[in-house]
Structure 1
Amino acid sequence: MSVRLLVVDDERLIRWSLEQTLTKGGYEVTAASTGEAALAAIREDPPDLILLDLKLPDTDGLQVLRQIKELNPLIQVLIMTAYADVGTAVEAMKLGAYDYLAKPIDFDNLAVTIRNALEASQLKRKVKLLSERHLYRYHFDRIVGTSRRIREVIALARKVARSAGTTVLIQGESGTGKDLLAKAIHCESARAEEPFLEIACTAMPETLLESELFGHERGAFTDAKTPKKGLFEVAHGGTIFLDEIGDMSGGLQGKLLRVLEERSFRRVGGTKDVAVDVRVIAASNRDLREAVDGGSFRKDLYYRLQVVTITMPSLRDRREDIPLLARHFLEHFSREFKKRPPRLSPGAERLLAQYDWPGNVRELRNVIERAMILEDSGDLLPGHLPPEVGRLPASTGPPVPAFQLPESGVVLEDVEREFVRQALELTQGNQTRAARLLGLTRDELRYRVKKFGLNHKAEEEEVG
């Protein structure tokens, strides 16, 4: 596919000369003599690069440059003018021009500049594509679940992401996906192109956590040989995610409160205030209200954090999402292990739905990963699940039979025929797998297939 260039100049001879030279260079070239004609051409079919004269009969070239960048920021623009001056050049570059060429045009220099500009444009497009792909991984529509509880959480989080609010508190049990929600809030906010940095506040000495968050000056402590920026400074313009904030020491809680209230801090050992614009998303698996009552968490910090509080539901509180999540993880691990995605058998699905999941979504993910390692039959069966999941919960009443006999009775042979038919249907006619589902040998199943006239449902299998 050829590269398309647009030449914008009011002088016919210059347009003709550039068209001829650039066409010989292998480019597809169109031309416009006015700013209005240029903008119309860009709207209809955006070029890859524009050669733009600053002096146009109907408008100022800088104004056209502004409008080009509004229409498509990725189009590279080379400014041309016979009235070269530093001030105009600086202004054009500030507005997004790639380079500035003085007339008469040096065609050798022009060829090099165009090549460099196109390479820079291609790199920008690749970076943008990679960035979009990375950000899309964490969009709200990538959160798996259709239950009312999770839909309410996503609806509230969307409002938070769109707002200018800079403080969010996410509460919920361990493994419910608080970090995933924090990333989604960042990736669908106006801060998405800026850094998202996260740190766990648990199991880290106070002095080390302070240095990580706020940075330090040279000589602030024994090993501080050089100054270091902290996460708040590096995350400027973006988001910082403080996981398990309930484990933060009282001294650091006070310093965090100052950052939230004053939007500034001092590095460890520093005397100068550093101003920052950062959205702070804090998360905790503890009830911070109880921590305040118990004296382990500052009341003023709690009230500053809980301007907007989002509570992630436990997995047992949204059981209808368990099959969806299980199938999502089956797809994920089938790609990772380069295996065909197994079918989630009804028995395994029933056990997954009945289990209480104290480790929530994280535990379910680990269980599916384990099952994918053990599975080799094409079906994820109850036997592939760990013992704690494979055990049905203890019943408080009389045992419920697996199959309920109707009062009118049944013909046992009809029941047997129906189960054989269903097993063949579930396994797409694979007799080995169907026999395994029914607890039969393959020969026993073949006898019943023949007996019930179900040969059309069964695949012919080669006997080895």
Structure 2
Amino acid sequence: MLQEAVRTEVAIPPPPPPAPRLQPRKPLTLVTAQRAVALDEFETFVGVSPNVAALKEFIAVQSSDREISHAILLIGERGLRQEQIARVLHQASAHWSQPFMSVNAHGLNDEALHALLFGKPGQKGMLETCGRGTIFINELTQLPPLIQQRFASHIEELRWRAYQATAARAPRLVFATAYDPTGMRAENRIAYGLVELLKSQSFTIKPLRERSEDIPFIAKHLTERIARRLHKGPHELTPAALRVLSEYDWEGNLDELEAVLEAAVAGTQPAQLTEDLLPARLRYATLKSIPDNGVNLPHLMDEYEHNLLSTALRQTGGNQTKASALLGLRVQTLNMKLKRFKELGMEVKW
């Protein structure tokens, strides 16, 4: 019987893929014509994917011209930390000693934003006071139409001056947008026209779910930094924990990943970070069967709802009316949910 069983060809399922093993990471340094810029402190440049390699090459190319500072467009979802990329662009440029300014368009009304950027009678705007520095502006397609028009005219003028070989002492503009071609409407045609104008000097940062090979390296990098910031000892991510992190979708990208890791590091003594220390929504994201010891369904539902609320508020810049519309809730219902989570010690942040 045993011999027959041995002779019989049985389809044996392949073993699960081995957990990712991290090799010691070499120091990351971007060398441009102007200076060498260490990239180790920027998680946006950590990883082994072609997208990360292309990003480094993009910055090297953009930093090679000492005189012309093209406006640049960074295309990518929220949470990918485009401002870090803008800072590296600035540091690698010939004008790294000039100011770097970051503008959060969500925090200002139309009039204040226009005055800040372009000035008003008796007051110069940022485009005049920044010299040859860099100005980073998020959410290009959500800027007021008047400001989008002003930027389009400004960019065209700079291009004309460059064509005429006329030096323009203007700051470099770096825009960020979660560009979606399917979202083009008559009311936002100016915004999408501006995106097309900048397409030749743009770079698309892929979300983490499309480059999962980077996640173990990013997670190790962030864990080390978090442990130092919290004055904790070394924390090592186990292979199982790395697999869980790599398989999750990370709608909030780097922001969400760091928040999860910080919560895990803050709640443990220096040791290994196992998958049990990760949120249930990560561990059971690809659940195909219920574990023998069961699951805590109410807790799972709370974590899932908490994540949805946080995502909606982050996506709308904290605007509860818009977040409620995205979630199909009344504003009062959203407020009640936010209050409940705060009382549970799970305050929703964005």
TM-score, normalized by length of structure 2?
0.64
Q: Are the structure 2 counterparts of residues 305 and 321 from structure 1 closer, same or farther at C-alpha, using a change threshold of 3 Å?
A: same
Kindly indicate whether the alpha-carbon contact (under 8 Å) linking 2:241 and 2:275 is maintained by their aligned counterparts in 1.
yes
What SS does the aligned partner of 1:310 have?
Answer: strand
Distance 1:340 1:140, change over 3 A: closer
Q: 1:184 aligns with which of 72, 88, 98?
A: 88
1:295 partner amino acid: E
- The question of whether the paired residues in 1 share the 8 Å contact of 2:136 and 2:173 is answered with yes
1:12-161 matches, cutoff 5 A? 136=38, 143-161=45-63
Query: Could you tell me the percent identity over the aligned residues?
Result: 28
Match of 2:267 among 374, 384, 387: 374
Displacement, 1:349?
A: 1.3
Separation in 1, partners of 2:279, 2:59: 34
- Identify the match of residue 234 of structure 1 among 104, 119, 129: 129
Q: Matches of residues 44-443 of structure 1 in structure 2 within 5 Å?
A: 136=38, 143-163=45-65, 164-217=68-121, 227-263=122-158, 276-287=169-180, 289-298=181-190, 299-376=192-269, 378-395=271-288
Alignment partner of 2:196: what SS?
helix
One-letter amino acid of the structure 2 residue matched with residue 375 of structure 1: T
Report the Cα distance in structure 2 between the residues aligned to 1:303 and 1:246, rounded to whole angstroms: 11
SS of equivalent residue, structure 1 residue 320: helix
Separation in 2, partners of 1:256, 1:213: 10
Residues in 2 aligned to 1:307 and 1:296: alpha-carbon distance in whole angstroms: 20
Contact 2:100–2:133 (CA under 8 A) maintained in structure 1: yes
In the TM superposition, residue 292 of structure 1 has moved relative to its aligned partner by 4.2
2:211 aligned counterpart, secondary structure: helix
Alignment correspondent of 2:306 = none
In the aligned structure 2, how far is the partner of 1:141 from the partner of 1:190? 23
Asked if the contact 1:170–1:309 (Cα under 8 Å) also holds between the matched residues in 2, the reply is yes
Cα 1:364–1:182, aligned 2, differ >3 Å: closer, same or farther? same
3-state DSSP class of the match of 1:295?
helix
Gap regions ≥5 residues in structure 2: 1-34, 160-167, 292-350
**Structure 1 counterpart of 2:125, which letter?**
G
CA distance in 2, matches of 1:329, 1:185: 21
Q: What amino acid sits opposite 1:257 in the alignment?
A: A
Greater mean deviation of Cα atoms: 137-146 or 198-207: 137-146
Paired AA for residue 304 in structure 1:
L
Aligned CA-pair RMSD? 2.8
Q: 1:189 to 1:139 in 2, by over 3 A?
A: farther
CA contact (8 A) 2:39 2:45 kept: no
Distance 1:281 1:294, change over 3 A: same
Letter in 2 for 1:296: N
Letter aligned with residue 46 of structure 2:
V
Looking at structure 1, the residues matched to 57 and 152 of structure 2 have their Cα atoms a distance apart, in angstroms, of: 28
1:305-351 deviation line (CA, Å, top 9, x unaligned): 22211000100111111111111111101111111111111221111
List runs of 5+ in structure 1 lacking aligned partners: 1-131, 218-226, 265-274, 402-464
Q: Which has the higher contact order (CA 8 A, sep 6+)?
A: 2
How many Å separate the matches in 2 of 1:400 and 1:145? Answer: 33
- SS for the counterpart of 2:228 is helix
Deviation at 1:175, TM superposition (A): 0.8
> Whole-Å Cα distance in 2 between the matches of residues 321 and 138 of structure 1?
14
* Aligned match of 2:315: none
* CA distance 1:195–1:185, shift in 2 (3 Å): same
Paired AA for residue 154 in structure 2: V
Q: Distance in 1 between matches of 2:126 and 2:238?
A: 46
Distance 1:392 1:290 in 2: 28
Q: Cα distance 1:161–1:139, how it changes in 2: closer, same or farther (>3 A)?
A: farther
CA offset digits 1:195-252 (Å, max 9, x no partner): 11111223531101101111222xxxxxxxxx33322112221111111111111111
- TM-score normalised by the chain length of structure 1: 0.49
